[in-house]
Amino acid sequence: MMKSKVMLFVIVLLAVSAMAAFANGEKAPATAAAMPQRTINVLLWDDPYPKALMAMLPEFTAATNITVNIEMLQPPQVLTKTAISVTNTTTDYDVVGIDEGNVPVFASLLLPFDSWYKGTVYPKTDPKSVTPKMYSIGTWNGVQLGVPINGNLYVWMTRKDLIENPTYMSQFKAKYGYALGVPKTFKELLEMGTFFNENGIAAGFGPFNGGPAGVLSEAVFMWESYGTKFIDFTGGTFKVVLDEDKAVEGMEFYKKLMTISPKGAETMAHVERQAAFAADPKGVFSMFIWPAQIAAYEDPTKSLVAGKIAYSAPPAGPRGQAAVTGAWAIAIPKASKNQEAAAEFIYWWSSKAIADKLVQANTIPARTETLTNPAYASSKPWLPALADSMKVAASRPRFKEIGQVQDVVKKYWIMGITGAMPTRDAVRAIVKETNDILQKAGY
């Protein structure tokens, strides 16, 4: 009895020490610079982009003698931890990543960009280096609070191998009277999608019906394309300005797209979309993508369609074209005690040299010159598409109660597009409940 207890203890001890050895296997490289040793804590969202950055950290530490602890969590968890830990007087993090929609919540706790320290090793980020449409993401009430760091907004993906297939091309032309290609309008999207879906070649469309923030993006995308805004800041307050008829049209169209989508479309979140588009042998003809995820779709070990995707701006609706933004800004809390080192880190991250490297890793920095650099256009075909999308960028409404509004939109939007509720009733319910929330919040 005693013996087996001891054995167990030894096993556990071995396991722990083995793991500890793994964990401490690599130490930060020795620094040459004669600068004081400093450490900053950074909270970021978890996707390939910050991961690619993380691999470059030793270079930064070598140049500045600043050690960077990066904590990466899923976006909702980043919000929670930032909300709990950052106050006017305390913070666990010297640099935080803030999803564009949450900038209003944290605005009063962040150090305005103008008061950021001037870098010693890296020059202060030039706001003009960021595409103007994306630039506003880091600002609130006219004050710049953070540097928009990733050029994340709707880009359209279409299966190149499908639209370039001669058989499909001729069949489609015969039936619809125009050439198969990257869909430029909603009508083309629906017709081409229907063609592939009906003939059992591929699913026509990949909707997003996952988390509330993403569903709101889809709704805003449809509504903007049908010529109506959802919520606007007018007369010093937030108002629902949704045009009921246009909103219903948009929802009806999405409902049609749902009929040419893969099975299980009503619960498709990012992972399910990725499975449908990139891993399913049939795949999906056309759908939007957050560029932050392109790396996974172009990775041959994860994707059957790597190298077979045509990228473009989203197709245009009857009354407009829209690409919804979903970018992150990085900012420094007022309460940080390492503001100099934090600024240095951000300047390094947003520099041209790093942006170039991040592009090589199939991720999307926000720097315009990198995105539009013709040298990358052929090997990274999504970059020109991204630049096109930016011309029609549209943002989701931003205010502190957006969390509640998102839930309302998600609930009724999905009921509407799956036929659980007439679309007009769904739109009315969205308007009514959003108004209730705004009224209660005192707008």
Partner 1 sequence: MKGAGGHGSPVPFLLPALLIVFAVLIFPIIFSFVVSLFDWPLSAGGGSRRFIGASNYVDLVKDKEFWNSLKLQLGFIFIAIPLELVLGLAAALLLNREFQGGRVIRALILLPVFFLPVVSGMTWRFMLQPRYGALNNFLLALGAPEITWLGDPTFAYAAIIIQDIWRMWPFVFMLLYAGLAGISTDILEAAEIDGAHFSKRLFSIILPLLYPTILTALLLRIIDALRIFSEVYVMTEGGPGMATTLFSLYTHRQAFGYMKVGMASAMAIFLLVISIVFAVTLVRKNMSLEKLEERGGDR
Partner 2 sequence: MKLATKRKTITMAVAFFAIAVLLVELYPIVITLLNGFRTDLVILSGQKFSLKQLTTTSYALVFKNRLLMKAMGNSIIVGIFSTALSVGVGAMAAYGISRFRFRGRNALAYSFLVFRMLPQMSLVVALYLMFRSIGLRDTIFGITLAHSSFNVPYVIWMLIPFFTAVDKSYEEAAMVDGCSRWKLFHMVFLPLVAPGLVVAAVFSFINSWNEFLYALILTGVNARTAPVAISSLIGGDTLTWGQMCAASTVMLMPVFVFTLAMQKFLIRGIAAGGVKG
Footprint on this chain of partner 2 (rule: CB under 8 A): 4, 7-8, 11-12, 15-16, 19-20, 22-23, 25-26, 41, 46-48, 69-77, 80-81, 84-85, 90, 92, 211, 269-271, 274-275, 278-281, 290, 292-293, 295-296, 301-304
Mask: binding to partner 1, 383-412, rule CB under 8 A, as x and -?
-----------------xx-xx--x--xx-
Q: Which two tokens stand for residue 241?
A: 């300005």
> Nearest Cα to 127, choosing from 109, 143, 107?
143
- Are the beta carbons of 401 and 438 closer than 8 angstroms? yes
Minimum distance of partner 2 from residue 376's CB (angstroms):
22
Report the residue number, 68 or 331, with the smaller CB distance to partner 1: 331
In angstroms, rounded to a whole number, what is the distance separating the alpha carbons of residues 423 and 251?
A: 7
Question: What residue 243 binds from partner 1, partner 2, none (CB within 5 to 8 A, per partner kind)?
Answer: none
274 binds, among partner 1, partner 2, none (CB under 5 to 8 A by kind): partner 2
415 binds partner 1 (CB under 8 A): yes
- Of the candidates 218, 203, 171, the residue with the CA atom closest to the CA atom of residue 276: 203
The interface with partner 1 within residues 66-95 (CB under 8 A) comprises: 76, 79-80, 82-84, 86-88
Q: How far is the CB of 250 from partner 2 (least distance, A)?
A: 25
Residue 128 exposed, middle or buried by CB count within 10 Å (0-12, 13-18, 19+) = exposed
Q: Which residues contact 287 (CB under 8 A, 6 or more apart)?
A: 156, 157, 205, 206, 207, 273, 277
48 binds, among partner 1, partner 2, none (CB under 5 to 8 A by kind): partner 2
Tokens of residue 162, six digits: 């499908």
Which two tokens mark 76?
């909702």
Cβ proximity to partner 1: between 68 and 417 the closer is 417
- Choose between 242 and 294: whose C-beta lies nearer to partner 2: 294
Shortest separation between residue 265's beta carbon and partner 2, angstroms: 16
Q: Report if residue 161 touches partner 1, rule: CB under 8 A.
A: no
Distance of closest approach, residue 89 Cβ to partner 2, in angstroms: 11
Cα separation of 333 and 86, whole Å?
A: 7
Q: How many CB atoms lie within 10 A of CB 340?
A: 19
Q: Tokens 């800041």 identify what position?
A: 233
**CB under 5 to 8 A by kind: which of partner 2, partner 1, none does 66 bind?**
none
User: Which position among 107, 130, 190, 192 is part of the footprint of partner 1 (CB under 8 A)?
Assistant: 107
Q: If contact means CB under 5 to 8 A according to the sort of partner, which of partner 1, partner 2, none does residue 251 touch?
A: none
Cα(324)–Cα(157) distance, rounded to whole angstroms?
15
Size of the site for partner 1 (CB under 8 A): 37
**Cα distance between residue 335 and residue 86, in whole Å:** 8
Rounded Cα–Cα distance for residues 366 and 116 (Å): 20
Contacts of 188 (CB under 8 A, 6+ apart): 178, 181, 315
CA-to-CA distance for 191 and 271, rounded, in angstroms? 26
CB of 208 to partner 1, least distance (A): 13
292 binds, among partner 1, partner 2, none (CB under 5 to 8 A by kind): partner 2
Q: Binding of partner 1 at residue 174 (CB under 8 A)? A: no
Residue 32 neighbours by CB under 8 Å, 6+ apart: 62
Q: Does 59 bind partner 1 (CB under 8 A)?
A: no
Q: How far apart are CA 296 and CA 278, in angstroms?
A: 9
Q: For residue 237, give the 3-state DSSP assignment.
A: strand
Contact positions with partner 1 (CB under 8 A) in 249-278:
262-264, 266-267, 272, 275-276
Q: Which residues bind partner 1 (CB under 8 A)?
A: 76, 79-80, 82-84, 86-88, 105-109, 210-212, 262-264, 266-267, 272, 275-276, 279-280, 400-401, 403-404, 407, 410-411, 414-415, 418
